Amino acid sequence: MPKRFTPDEYAAGVLSGNRVLLSRAITLVESTLPSDQALAHAVMEQVLPQAGKSVRVGITGVPGVGKSTFIEAFGNHLLEQHGKKLAVLAIDPTSQRTGGSILGDKTRMETLSANPNAYIRPSPAGKTLGGVARSTRESILLCEAAGFDVIFVETVGVGQSETAVHEMVDFFLLLMLAGAGDELQGIKKGIMEMADAIAITKADGPNLHPATSAQAEYQGALHLFPLGKSQWSPKVTVCSAYEKSGLGPIWDSVMEYVQLTQQNGYFHHRRQEQNLHWLRHSIRQQLEERFYQHPAVQAQWETISNQVTQGQKSPFAAAAELFQLLP
């Protein structure tokens, strides 16, 4: 087991912006050991008053959309043009299968990761969605306490983690390719309606024209959709990480969103709702874990769930039957 510090040591390290201690604290919140979790709770308790002062941006898009190069270019833009301190948390549910694709390529985000005002942290593979959600959410807070004022949370856009990420960020940015077929677009149904902005990537050279056409189409389409409670009307832009073009307008959108929602109260309200969401979510997960791992349920689950799936038993009767197995 790696060395553990006291809660005070972790908290002091994180709050002073010490990157080694920040990384260790994130490792702690990622741990599933009960002793580590208790320690993590104590650390979080101490850093919480200093957290919350960042803009949290979720960034998603399917493989091939150019997420890494976009984040590198967009991140450098924020550091150089706006003097921001940026943390990038990357969730890669596929890395278990691909052997750690997300940061496996050493050239990925090379200039960004070398910049002292940027901090890049991949999520370890092979954890449950709930585990990833918890550790990512607490990692956001730790990075904020360490002084980072913009947090990117990156997902691959094809899995289940987008909904979870949507519930932990202020602004959700969807990266799309122009003219890609349905296979390439490949994003899950429902993600489009979560987006606060869509950026059409790789809008350079011969791609520029298709990209601006796609921009107009998506902008028209999004106007038909109902506004959310934020009252924000999603923006569609084009950009090129290669030419470093179109990055300013994306950040402008984020800032406009923040200004609008801070004025109408939604920004604060949403964060409070998200806090409550994660409390209820965490309770739900622990309840379900206990239930489904109960030996009596496990012994009957396959038989009963098959009867339900096949339509031989009502789901509600089956649920009642399973509960009767418990003490």
- Interface with its own copies (CB under 8 A): 37, 41, 44-45, 48-49, 51-52, 134, 137-138, 141, 182, 185-190, 192-193, 217-218, 220-222, 224-228, 271-272, 275-279, 281-284, 286-288, 291, 304-305, 308-320, 322-323
- What tokens appear for 64 in the block? 């091939």
Question: Between residues 59 and 142, which has the closer beta carbon with respect to its own copies?
Answer: 142
Supply the minimum distance, in Å, between the C-beta of residue 93 and its own copies.
18
Supply the minimum distance, in Å, between the C-beta of residue 100 and its own copies.
26
Alpha carbons within 13 A on the beta-carbon side of 273: 12
Question: Between residues 209 and 268, which has the closer beta carbon with respect to its own copies?
Answer: 268
Residue keyed to tokens 């949370």? 153
Written as one string, the DSSP assignment of 7-53 is HHHHHHHHHTT-HHHHHHHHHHHH---HHHHHHHHHHHHHHGGG---
CB count within 10 Å of CB 282 equals 14
Supply the minimum distance, in Å, between the C-beta of residue 248 and its own copies.
25
Question: Between residues 76 and 135, which has the closer beta carbon with respect to its own copies?
Answer: 135
Query: In 3-state terms, what secondary structure has residue 178?
Result: coil
- What tokens appear for 173 in the block? 């940015």
| Burial label, 142 (beta-carbon count in 10 A; 0-12, 13-18, 19+) | buried
Give the amino acid at 268. H
- What tokens appear for 163 in the block? 């909904």
Question: Between residues 205 and 320, which has the closer beta carbon with respect to its own copies?
Answer: 320
Distance, in Å, from the CA atom of 170 to the CA atom of 147, rounded to the nearest integer, reads 18
Give the amino acid at 158. V
Supply the minimum distance, in Å, between the C-beta of residue 132 and its own copies.
13
Question: Between residues 136 and 240, which has the closer beta carbon with respect to its own copies?
Answer: 136
Picking from 241, 225, 245, the residue whose alpha carbon sits closest to that of residue 233 is: 225
Supply the minimum distance, in Å, between the C-beta of residue 2 and its own copies.
21
Supply the minimum distance, in Å, between the C-beta of residue 245 and its own copies.
23
Question: Between residues 103 and 129, which has the closer beta carbon with respect to its own copies?
Answer: 129
Give the amino acid at 310. Q
Supply the minimum distance, in Å, between the C-beta of residue 222 and its own copies.
8
Question: Between residues 113 and 282, which has the closer beta carbon with respect to its own copies?
Answer: 282
